[in-house]
Structure 1
């Protein structure tokens, strides 16, 4: 199993998705993301996904890694994921952040 690795050497295409939700919807948003991830893991180029819940209940953050931008875009355009994406949009304000790892520090 490939684990999420935050490294400048990995070359992964990274999506950090911030979902802003009402606190009473945080758990439902989490469940929708896990359901979507169950579908997304079958796509070529998928590396990892991590989900974080804010302490105040107003955000769900998904840190996802792909082998390449092309792999990510192919998944995003596929009909099998559209229902999940629509469910996310119905429940949350979404701020996608596409990035590359520029620096890491470990103790």
Structure 2
């Protein structure tokens, strides 16, 4: 399967990079939960653009790279009870969760 991620630097977006630390035996469980939450809830939230999940080879990390139209959209999602439920479930699987918002400064693609 080929996955292409387009990062739009022509307009400001809120980029979430959330690093989950997880026991290797629960990494796939966490990814499945995050993917299900994205399909069932996050995609229906105003301002949602896309989400990607990355897993470390050692099984100890899951990275959620997501973008929202604005920080306000992201913060509104955090206040949504259904979204909070999914995030609370993820926090029960992970041993540490470190969400941060970022601004994309540059992108680079192979010629």
Q: TM-score, normalised by structure 1?
A: 0.91
Give the equivalent residue in structure 1 for 2:81. 79
Query: Separation in 2 of the partners of 1:5 and 1:73?
Result: 23
Q: Report the CA distance between 1:4 and its aligned residue.
A: 4.3
Give the equivalent residue in structure 1 for 2:20. 19
Query: Separation in 2 of the partners of 1:42 and 1:74?
Result: 12
Q: Report the CA distance between 1:83 and its aligned residue.
A: 1.5
Count the aligned residue pairs. 105
Give the equivalent residue in structure 1 for 2:104. 101
Give the equivalent residue in structure 2 for 1:56. 58
Task: Give 4+ residue runs of structure 1 displaced > 4 Å after superposition.
Answer: none
**Is residue 7–residue 103 contact of structure 1 (8 Å, CA) maintained in 2?**
no
CA RMSD, 1 decimal: 1.4
- Note the residue ranges of structure 1 that are not aligned, 5 or more in a row: none
Give the equivalent residue in structure 2 for 1:5. 6
Q: What are the equivalent positions in structure 2 for 1:36-51 lying under 5 Å apart? A: 36-38=37-39, 39-51=41-53
- Note the residue ranges of structure 2 that are not aligned, 5 or more in a row: none
Most deviating of 17-26 and 73-82: 73-82
**Is residue 4–residue 65 contact of structure 1 (8 Å, CA) maintained in 2?**
no
2:27 paired with 1:30: no
